[in-house]
Amino acid sequence: MTVSHETVVVTGASTGIGAASARELARRGFHVLAGVRREQDADALRGPGIEPVILDITQPEHIAELAGRVSSLRALVNNAAVQTNAPVEALPLSEWRRQFEVNLFGHIAVTQALLPALLRRSGRVVNISSVGGRVAMATYGPYASTKFALEAVSDSLRRELAPLGVRVVVVEPGAVRTEMPDRVIAATKQQAATMSPEHRERYGKLIQAANAHAAAHIPGGRSAADAAKVIAKAVTAGKPRTRYTVGRDAALGTRLARVVPDRLLDWALAASLRPHYPKVSPVPR
């Protein structure tokens, strides 16, 4: 079947922000092709206005199959992402490449394949970045670098497509209460366990502090449904902004990155981590 009327594609829709966005857009009357990687995720998501499709954005055949059945498209929401945090020195290049394959190259591949359908509808590309696409905390280098790159690609794409009637919008969430933070912390711990003794000596406490910092901030984050409303606004606004933030932390972080000198920002980020370092027990005398 060819889908052509008011269709939106959402990648990474199995859980969290992607699933919430699929539901919010369907509630607003769109036919949502929701990209998931497993049949069990498809069964959980399927509902009125939501048609799950098996889509691994690193697999060209999945992308080609999707492009082959979409003749015109109102919006593409590039949401799929993976994340493992680690110091730059300690993360194997294979893991760097994996994060770039999903968080950047996969989105470029999907966008290239679906642009003809977006051009027919004067549609919209909505790229889900992060506050980490503007501010890179210690141990967040791998993930943040993919998001910095996605921000740059979005800027170029916006300027290329504006004369052709396709708008490009970036959404930058901060802390959001989804399953992803727990997965990231678990993946980070697993990666840390494989580090060399020298790397553990240099970075072990930093990684513990960064994980504790993330865990402490998630409960105060916005809900996935709140994020989905911002994404739906990016899809539907008549004159969308080039960027939207989700949450006070994202709004503050992106502003600070623009106006605060690097050294002062370094100090502020280090200070925010300091309370989360593991406590050292005093040596008995």
Q: Which residues are catalytic?
A: 143
Residues in contact with 139: Cβ distance below 8 Å, sequence separation at least 6, in sequence order: 85, 86, 87, 188, 203, 206, 207, 210
Q: What is the full DSSP assignment across 164-231?
A: GT-EEEEEEE-SEESSHHHHHHHHHHHHHHTS-HHHHHHHHHHHHHHHHHHHHHGGGSEEHHHHHHHH
Q: Read off the DSSP letter of residue 251.
A: H
E strand or H helix at 256, and its extent?
A: helix 248-259
Enclosing H/E stretch for 149: helix 141-161
Q: What is the dihedral of CA 132, 273, 268, 179, to 10 degrees?
A: 30
CA 259 to centroid of chain Cα atoms: 24
Q: How far apart are alpha carbons 3 and 202 in whole angstroms?
A: 54
SS3 237: coil
- Tell how far CA 159 is from the center of its chain: 22
